[in-house]
Amino acid sequence: MTGYLPEKAREEIACRAFWGDYTLRNDRFLSHCPAKGSFLFMARMTGTDRITTTHGETVRAFVPFPLPPAEPSLVIEGQLAEHHAAALAAVGRLQLAGAMVPDPGWFLYGFVRKEAVLSSQIEGTQATLRDVATFEATSTTDKPADVAEVCNYVDALNQARAMITAPGGLPLSTRLLCDAHRMLMQGVRGADKLPGEIRRSQNWIGGSRPGNARFVPPPPDEVAPALAALERWIHSDDPLPALVKAGLAHVQFETIHPFLDGNGRIGRMLIALLVEHWGLLDQPLLYLSVAFKRRQSDYYAHLAAVRTAGDWEGWTSFFLECVATAADDGVAVAQAVHALIARDRARLVGHPRATIAAIQLLDHLPATPVLTVPRASSLLGSTAPPARKAIELLESIGVLCETTGRQRDRAYAYHSYLDLLTES
């Protein structure tokens, strides 16, 4: 299936008006595809197989055709158009929610870290948003390896965004993604697998070796040309809608699999960068990994269906559904955060012992949901005593909660805020 479809297999697919459970056959293997939907699609070839030898085995590595999908072209009509309209409207509501708050930091801290946590959890880490916030405040954690991976993701995304917007910075490019990958892999699992460098050896997905792998990406000498073609397409004037293109680019990157490790996280980061690049959002508020994680088996099935049956329609429908789900989730969380802060501020302002320092500290909490007295002093630009009094007042009215149980080096968490961000 990857690379070519025999006439009998093409006829078998073409005779199906709707995507369902069916079997595709060719001379290499039998595949039962679990991806489902209710939209029309046309089978197409999405790449070619290249026979290569790696680790002493002869395998078929898949080299994807450049974007956009062709023969037939991907057409956004019917149910796909409905899914696109729904996703675009949801992203618009998310953009509006982000613009309605007095301080963008209210959402930006939590939303970026939520995406970092979820994207890393898809790859097997166990760190939570609370773990990350606590580490950032205290430099201590009982999950150092997992927390480091999440923090690296945050740093890599922030660096990439800064480079794109900086005068004389880098455009959205292979070089930019390599720089992000170098930061992502710094000092963590996979740090010995050429961080920031395009792979020079064959990799594979699933299985214990190339010969029994679920998927074998392009050979090393095909990776740079494939990435260059993807970069050209990103900066072309392709008329497909931007949200659709972001989904196509993600699949293409995942299929190329240009690094020895960390491809999934960089591929999902690419979506966030493209959403900003094409002007759909001006902040990284769309934590799409929440939807991918909820539907993880469908996510992998649709990626595979593009490679094996050319089902770009199925992937695009799935992707747009995930965008709408994630955007609506983000709007709900944004509204809940706004209401929480307004409620807590009203309680604080109405308290007889309210101080300017306590009110100012409350305003900092969404971007610093776990803090210590020294950190509070720094935020307030004050000495320790007024910072400590502000914390004690916020603790007394139930906004902050001490988390260590110690008498010294104590840490305080804005639990209600963290609860809102971790419910999903």
Question: What global pTM score does this model have?
Answer: 0.88
Neighbouring residues of 160: CB distance < 8 A, sequence distance ≥ 6: 176, 177, 179, 180, 269, 273
Residue 42's pLDDT is 59
Pick from 293, 280, 286, 279: which is nearest to 323 by CA?
Answer: 286
Per-residue pLDDT of the chain (424 residues; tens, 9 = 90+): 333 333 333 333 333 323 333 233 233 233 333 444 445 555 799 999 999 998 889 999 999 999 999 999 999 999 999 999 999 999 999 999 988 877 777 788 899 999 999 999 999 899 999 999 999 999 999 999 999 999 999 999 999 999 998 998 899 999 999 999 999 999 999 899 999 999 999 999 998 898 899 999 999 999 999 999 999 999 999 999 999 999 999 999 999 999 999 999 999 999 999 999 999 999 999 989 999 999 999 999 999 999 999 999 999 999 999 999 999 999 999 999 999 999 999 999 999 999 999 999 999 999 999 999 999 999 999 999 999 999 999 999 999 999 998 888 899 999 999 999 987 5
The whole-number pLDDT of residue 24 equals 33
With H, G, I as helix, E, B as strand and everything else as coil, classify residue 402. strand
Which residues, in sequence order, are bridge partners of residue 413?
Answer: 370, 401
Distance CA 264, CA 266 (A): 6
Check residue 207 and give left, alpha or beta (phi > 0: left; psi -120 to 50: alpha): left
Q: What is the DSSP string of 19-82?
A: --S-EEE-SS-EEE-----SS-------EEEEEEEETTEEEEEEEEPPSSPTTTTP---HHHHH
| Dihedral pair phi/psi, residue 219, rounded to 5° | -60, 160
pLDDT value, residue 21: 32
- What does the angle CA 86 – CA 91 – CA 94 come to, to the nearest 5 degrees? 130
CB contact at 8 A, 310 and 69: yes
List domains and CATH numbers for the chain: 78-333 (1.10.3290.10), 354-422 (1.10.10.10)
Q: Residues near 125 by Cβ (< 8 Å), separated by ≥ 6?
A: 145, 146, 149, 150
- pLDDT at position 407 is 85
Nearest partner of 308 among 14, 62, 38, judged by Cα: 62
CB 17 within 8 A of CB 285: no
Cα separation, 204 vs 215, in Å, equals 6
